[in-house]
Structure 1
């Protein structure tokens, strides 16, 4: 068993979904867990149990009025939180568990118990401070960033997002923050929801130059991804973050039903290895990976297992020199 990686999964976490007919359906969590077991990697990591966040933690990012709205909608189970996000019964507790599990993982990293952690049902990067968006009820990424600030006194935070969709709820919430360094590699917003994340968007005010958006053309593959990655890595290395968050959405793999990129799991493995290397240099090894999107079950199981394997296999400079997963 690796003493370096903790992976969170469990029935509580699996409850975050919107029903069998919705793209964010009930089988995503179990598809990953089954693949983790089939690969034998479950015996090489520590299993972390899901946890549920209280309102105080959720409201580090979200407004009280919005949290009230979600709580009320969750009890009725009727209506829509946004055009893509049904107000299913119990969604408040499910979303609070996504947030709480991220906070539990963050506790482990900050205590020095594990340098790396992975959570499959996480990375809900579209929700804004005052509203739901794009299958995302509470923005666990935003709560984690605010918690690093308020609880741990961490200032320099890197948020890296390789989901096919631009992480707009994170980007625009911290667009004016000069110490949240964002790298977001996504399908060009001219072709895909949420229609944002253009290369000229680099942060505003004092934060100008602290964000890097890299829109990718439809059908971009591993070769094209690996060609742009050094720019992203150089950007991050110059910023010297104290903690790194990775949103590793699997909807950027070829064959996803709602996106148009053509990566394989090799891109996800490569980014994970390189971020492990950077984290060892600048962040005391601290890397928290969040599953994000992915609506082809085989793809998400493959990509997320590759992320976990890359974390397990990383052994410093030797691992950092590898470019693709075998």
Structure 2
């Protein structure tokens, strides 16, 4: 089996081929167009000479997406190597330094050392949901910056009045502010009106994206939305960050991925665990939002939290237990939605 490690960049990709013992066989640097990728395939197949091929690509999908798409379309197998694994491989090497060929070699050897790395596949609806969700988050952040600047201008124009907190994301409130600004003159008033119009435009775009995301997620993940405390935006974040629940071999592997699995920290007679700070933090934050909502409003969850606290757990420890259980619930819901989607497609 020949393993081809790829160090991906914006303008070039460097590929190093190694044999089953990790010995470097050849290296090549190419541009990032589909034409160059086709030439790379010819080079790799000639190098393999009938042996099996597996591609190991550093997990930076914004740089390697086109290469992955072209390789998958040609029927090749790809595994994604987390960057942190490369650092350990470089540290254990006989030579020092960092370059594209060194990094590509580290990618290939890391893939050989780790048997259960994520497998790449062609993008599906999950990526559409993630792209829409990320774009919505970007617009929300931009609107927040606009609102902050607008509030300072409104304070300068009239220190005795200000809109209610968290109200400038509603079109009706923006209309009221515009009425107060209309009789005012000067540079500050003009800039405030410009910011007000920008805030209105952003709010309309955010509302349209929210409606589109809601429609997609409702069709894709009805079981996930049915979980108490999981709204459509949180469900979209889970779908996008999970990127296909079928790539996880078990609910425990999914918990390890999202950072809710406790981490062992002991070396003597007393076994203990602590909070894991690894894993996908965006996914962990989505589970945290569901947990907080359930802890306040969901009666069975409130009872569970009360029992944990009565047994000696702190509030945060009880919340961590809840998040670990939620990870299993979310995993089961995603599996159910996947099975439903497969049956629907087959029908």
TM more than 0.5: no
Larger of the two Rg values belongs to structure: 2
- By relative contact order (CA 8 Å, sep 6+), the higher-ranking structure is 1
TM bin, normalised by shorter chain, reads under 0.3
- The TM-score with structure 1 as length reference comes to 0.24
Higher helix share: 2
- The TM-score with structure 2 as length reference comes to 0.23
